[in-house]
Chain A
Amino acid sequence: MSNTSHTPAPEAAGPDAPRLTALDAVHRSLGATMTDFAGWDMPLRYASEREEHLAVRTKAGLFDLSHMGEITVTGSQAAEALDYALVGNIGSLAVGRARYTMICQEDGGILDDLIVYRLDTHGAPEFMVVANASNAQVVLDELTGRAADFDVEVRDDRDAYALLAVQGPRSPGILAQLTDADLAGLKYYAGLPGTVAGVPALIARTGYTGEDGFELFVEPRHAEGLWQALMAAGASAGLVPAGLSCRDTLRMEAGMPLYGQELTTGLTPFDAGLGRVVKFEKEGYFVGRTALEAAAERAESAPPRKLTGLVAEGRRVPRAGYPVVAGGQVVGHVTSGAPSPTLGRPIAMAYVDASHAAAGTAGVGVDIRGSIEPYEVVALPFYKRPK
């Protein structure tokens, strides 16, 4: 099929029309419920989001994540530029490995959370930075500005890739039918160039579901063929198309933050309980260093609100922004909430005053549209996959 990410269908044309991925026709033929997500028209679910969720936990699900933003950083000083621009230690990243990191403002506020892959495919330093769809332009602009004094090229590769993810315990078996790549040797948070179903792909063992799985970066013109090949290879294993709705409940059960909900420019990584991504030990200044050093001290001496887990005793579902209450006082707020298909009860991630954030704290509730529903405080994540 043609590269639809470059040439949207005529009826969707226009400056404000949503962008379509290379798999748009596939989603429509499957009867997907579509939703606007960061300017993209994306599949929310194909039938039941609960069934899709459970399929990923027990078998496998296939996601279209082509809305994610890829930025390539190459050149002799690519590592130095990224060490300056990001809070992580990118220079220490081995070729073929990936790292979860963040890009912060000078004041320490989180601009986005990122995955950085070190590729070095042409013998020179080369990194692929994957940003959230909603922040891709911000990250591209910031990286471009922050790299100005380095010998690097920052390239917008958003149109160069479609991204498919196969997630779930059966994903290695499914993918192994379509590639000679050494999947057994591919560690979690690693990526290698290879061929899948006859098309060139960056095969990465990453994901956002709490399960084992792979993300496949391919040229958009190959996306539909790869999708069909994966569905055929996974048919007997129970592979199902999976939408953004179950992706959200999967990541919530796995305790993973989502930009715009758990992570914002108003919080530093330390406020979000993710101070470990900030690598003060790396050499030299990086954007946000001074503010983050102060934030780290604050988090140590006077713990702010903490990101914690809440599990409902009843059936009413907490939503982002709902107050967390204890003893008649507001002690926090929900950042994400949903019914958990795995636990069979509603769950929430919430920022809660340190005094009420410890697992087992009694008397905590969520104000659900005027009625206080009892919730159990638990440690994140809600779900860990069996090893």
Chain B
Amino acid sequence: MSNPQQLRYSKEHEWLSTADDGVSTVGITEFAANALGDVVYAQLPAVGDTVTAGETCGELESTKSVSDLYSPVTGEVTEANQDVVDDPSLVNSAPFEGGWLFKVRVAEEPKDLLSADEYTEFSGN
């Protein structure tokens, strides 16, 4: 698998797009999606919620486990991906594309987000 170069990554295996008009898109990496197994339920933050970098803002359930979803940045949620709520398997089939999770108006970014190469080394994938 390859981690798209234009994204940045958290050590909790979320990816973050470059802010476009101050709004970034958040998802989980292919590595994380594979580790979870088939995702069957996604609880995403609601529009208007304030999310905080490094804190939980939802959960992803797979056949075998429940995983907290962390936000890689601090800001206000502007959109949650209803397609993923309706069909959580998108997280597995297209983690970097149609399986994105939410959009956030970024107020503050932590300094320790990883580049694609750094994340590849960190995750071993």
Contact = CB atoms under 8 A, between A and B. Distances in A.
Given A50-B38, A338-B64, 15 more contacts: A33-B34, A33-B35, A33-B37, A44-B64, A45-B37, A48-B38, A48-B92, A49-B37, A49-B38, A49-B63, A245-B63, A249-B63, A316-B41, A339-B61, A346-B40
Nearest to B88: A315
A249 B62 CA distance: 12
13 contacts: A44-B64, A48-B37, A48-B92, A49-B37, A49-B63, A245-B63, A315-B40, A319-B66, A338-B63, A339-B38, A339-B41, A339-B61, A339-B63
Contacts of A45: 37
Contacts of B40: 315, 317, 339, 346
A50 B61 contact: no
A226 to B, nearest CB: 28
A28 to B, nearest CB: 15
B62 to A, nearest CB: 8
A369 B92 CA distance: 24
A317 B61 contact: yes
Contacts of B92: 48
Interface of A: 33, 44-45, 48-50, 245, 249, 315-317, 319, 338-339, 346, 369
Interface string B81-110: 000000000001000000000000000000
B64 to A, nearest CB: 6
Given A245-B37, A316-B41, A50 B63 contact: yes
Which secondary structure dominates where chain A touches chain B? mixed
Contacts of B35: 33
Nearest to B38: A50
B34 A317 contact: no
Nearest to B43: A316
Contacts of A33: 34-35, 37
A53 to B, nearest CB: 9
Contacts of B66: 317, 319, 369
A128 B40 CA distance: 40
B41 A315 contact: yes
A178 to B, nearest CB: 31
Contacts of A339: 38, 40-41, 61, 63
Of the candidates B38, B61, B92, the one having the most CB atoms from chain A within 10 angstroms of its own CB is B38
A316 B92 CA distance: 18
Contact of B41 (A44, A245, A317, A319): A317
A152 to B, nearest CB: 41
A346 B38 CA distance: 13
Nearest to B65: A319
A49 B89 CA distance: 12
Interface string B3-40: 00000000000000000000000000000001101101
Given A48-B38, A48-B92, A316 B63 contact: no
A245 B63 CA distance: 8
Contacts of B34: 33
B42 to A, nearest CB: 9
Contacts of B41: 315-317, 339
Nearest first, the 3 A-B pairs at minimum CB distance are: A339-B40, A50-B38, A315-B41
A49 B63 CA distance: 8
Contacts of B64: 44, 49, 245, 338
A337 to B, nearest CB: 10
A316 B38 contact: no
A184 to B, nearest CB: 35
A49 B92 CA distance: 12
Interface string B46-84: 000000000000000101101000000000000000000
Nearest to B59: A369
A30 to B, nearest CB: 14
Contacts of B63: 49-50, 245, 249, 317, 338-339
